[in-house]
Structure 1
Amino acid sequence: MAKRLEIHYTPKHGSWLNIAEIELSVLTIQCLNRRIASIEELQVEVSAWETERNRIQKSVDWQFTTEQARGKLKHLYPEI
């Protein structure tokens, strides 16, 4: 099992991470909310969910404004 483990180092901050977490949550709620008998069936179900999700072009409605981000993240950026 350890030979199959593949570690990917990814940033811990950023809006893409929020989007990924949102999509995984939606996948879990809409597609993986039941017992799936086999890997093959899982692949078919997830593929169908992904195709539909892409077809409707679902997007994220951000509530966090640029001004709020600048205030909250001010310590990360030098003043010019």
Structure 2
Amino acid sequence: MSHTPHSYERADYLEALAAIDPSGLDDVYTGALGYCEERARLLGIASAPHHLQTLRRIRGLRDDPMETPEVRAAAGARLAP
């Protein structure tokens, strides 16, 4: 997925993949947590698998003072009990 011509296309590409066949996208959603585009990170937060490593990355997004408020809020909601 990192081979799109433009980074801003990644969220649309991920949404298209999920619409076609949502199975097998765990690694892609996890990778999206590190993308530069906010929409892609939001998709990753919402859909990445519930694994320890993934939750650590989401916690990092929640606690990052340089992150956007939307991403921090989504990460906080994902981590809420």
What's the TM-score, normalizing by structure 1? 0.24
Higher helix fraction (1 or 2): 2
What's the TM-score, normalizing by structure 2? 0.24
